[in-house]
Amino acid sequence: MPLNHYVTLGRSGLRVSPLCLGAMTFGDDLGWGSDVTTSKAIIDRYLALGGNFIDTANAYTRGHSEKIIGDHLGHTPSKRHRVVIATKFFGNLFPGDPNGGGAGAKSLIAATHESLRRLRTDYIDLLWMHALDRHTPLEETMRTLDDLVRAGKVRYIGFSDTPAWKVAQAQLTAHFRGWTPLVGLQIEYSLLERTVEGELIPAAQELGLGVTPWSPLKSGVLSGKYTRENAGKVKANRGAWVESSLNERAYTIIDVLQRVAKELGNTPAHVALAWVQNRPGVTSTIIGARTLEQLEDNLGALDVKLTPAQVAALDEVSQPTLNFPAAFLQGSPSFMHGGITVNGVTPPTMPFLPKTDAERY
């Protein structure tokens, strides 16, 4: 699938590329990431290949990520209008100011104006709430987002890193009050993080939200760099963030990932990205790149075609433990219509249920 085979995001008409360019690494202000020149080169290469979806946040490299994008695209209206720029509010860039971050009206409006200034644009294509603000009523956030859309400063809205029940509350509140609905849900999703399949993925599918996974390679753990054979010998670029994930379960998944990659003559990173991108509910997967080489390599995942057997092997080895009642409900079809095929699924019959009409009292 080429990068310019666009898909609509959730229940909206917004066309985006199947792989989204994550800009968290734009700017080397924090001692890691891409310098300005490299960041701009990455943007140019991504756009040249047909990509049109760039994701950033007000807090990424203290705002420098947004500024790099704005300085590079904002001075050319025709170039800027062809790109779907997504950014996030929530992060506090003003030390000591309790209203400098979060999802309250005061903070949200100010953060949007600051992002517009740094991005050198008069509108944001997609504005995400970066995380749940438990101190702000959800109605306040949704009303303010609707005001920003009606004012023409934002085109679409979405949530990131928010519990499924709050996402549902937000979407229903918007529906019944005639406010702008959410169109996307940005969540961590990878072979090493599948617990989102319990609540968040089903919620997104039910509520018309396109899922844009972040960290599909689990901060590089699934990139192929770390293996059972070199355990403890390869230094992790992100330190404890990566090392905490390098456990027996991770190596068991990496073992299968390596085997599938070898079967395809491909890389573990490509296979891991292809697996995520083809999960139910997923629209556009966010990829990060600190170099042009990393960008080119990640985009190669679009050419990977996993066989049903390979998908099943990856699914089995990475099977998550889900919270109640998600795990319990996986078996509910057996006592609802066991032995009967519904929507292509034929669950087994529970032994305590009647097998014939004659057995029923």
Please, are residues 215 and 188 in contact by the beta-carbon 8 Å criterion? Answer: yes
| Nearest 10 degrees: Cα torsion 189, 148, 6, 289 | -50
- In degrees and rounded to multiples of 5, residue 318 shows phi and psi of -105, 10
CA–CA gap between residue 93 and residue 60 (Å, rounded)? 10
Rounded to whole angstroms, the Cα distance separating 44 from 229 reads 37
Q: Are 15 and 8 in contact (CB under 8 A)?
A: yes
The DSSP bridge partners found for residue 20 are: 286
Cα–Cα–Cα angle for 38, 191, 24, rounded to 5 degrees: 25
Residue 60 bears catalytic tag: yes
From the CB of residue 345, how many other CB atoms can be counted at a distance below 10 Å?
Answer: 9
Instruction: Give the integer Cα–Cα distance in Å for 221 and 193.
Output: 12
Q: Can you tell me the distance from the alpha carbon of 271 to that of 284, in angstroms, rounded to the nearest whole number? A: 16
Which candidate in 6, 46, 60, 226 is catalytic? 60
| AA letter at 352 | F
Which residues are designated catalytic? 60
